[in-house]
């Protein structure tokens, strides 16, 4: 049976619509195009590859981890004694900024050598070393400084 011109145009449009949607005539609706499946597979592979990567901090060279193994960090402190607590083996110091470590503030510091507290009293200007290691922070080498003029 031969189709008329009108039916032929309608058949062409139906075919074009089907081609545009990625289906062949007679293929069920909702079946994904081949490129969608390919993109999904590529995305999955990229995602899995990213998940299996090790974090950058775990892959650092040994030279960068070496400073922690060198021992405790030491920082120079300059300030004024606010209070001394010999029973708690601590001294509260209102100190200047410690560059690269801590801003200016008043805070209590533990002292391992209790004898360093014997000659200190509130108001004394002092210099000391703040020692920092994984077990904590404390003061060493506490010295009364000459009064500022």
- What are the start-end ranges of the E strands in the chain? 73-85, 90-95, 105-110, 125-133, 136-144
Residues 95/78, Cβ–Cβ less than 8 Å? yes
* Residue range 73-144, CATH number: 2.40.50.320
The residues that bridge with 73 in the sheet, in sequence order, are 132
pLDDT at site 7? 83
- Integer Cα distance of 148 and 80 in angstroms: 11
Residues 111/139, Cβ–Cβ less than 8 Å? yes
Domain boundaries, the chain: 73-144
User: pTM (2 decimals)?
Assistant: 0.53
- Integer Cα distance of 32 and 27 in angstroms: 11
pLDDT at site 86? 92
- 40-89 pLDDT, tens digit per residue, is 777 777 767 666 655 555 544 444 444 555 789 999 999 999 999 999 99
Between the alpha carbon of residue 111 and those of residues 11, 17, 76, 127, 140, the distances in Å are 94, 84, 15, 14, 7
pLDDT over 80 (residue 103): yes
- pLDDT band, very low/low/confident/very high, at 8 (cuts 50, 70, 90): confident
pLDDT at site 42? 75
- DSSP SS3 for 29: coil
Calculated CA dihedral for residues 70, 74, 75, 81, nearest 10 degrees: 160
């Amino acid at each position: 049976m031969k189709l008329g011109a009108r039916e032929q145009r309608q058949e062409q449009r139906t075919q074009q619509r089907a081609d545009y949607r990625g289906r062949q005539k007679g293929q069920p609706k909702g079946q994904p195009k081949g490129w969608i499946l390919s993109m999904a597979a590529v995305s999955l592979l990229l995602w899995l590859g990213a998940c299996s990567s090790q974090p950058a901090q775990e892959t650092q060279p040994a030279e960068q981890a070496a400073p922690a193994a060198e021992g405790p960090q030491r920082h120079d402190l300059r300030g004024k004694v606010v209070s001394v607590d010999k029973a708690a083996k601590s001294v509260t110091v209102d100190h200047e900024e410690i560059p690269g470590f801590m801003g200016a503030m008043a805070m209590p510091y533990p002292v391992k050598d209790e004898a360093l507290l014997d000659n200190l009293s509130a108001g004394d200007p002092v210099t000391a070393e703040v020692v920092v290691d994984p077990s904590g922070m404390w003061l060493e080498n506490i010295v009364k400084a000459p009064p500022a003029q």
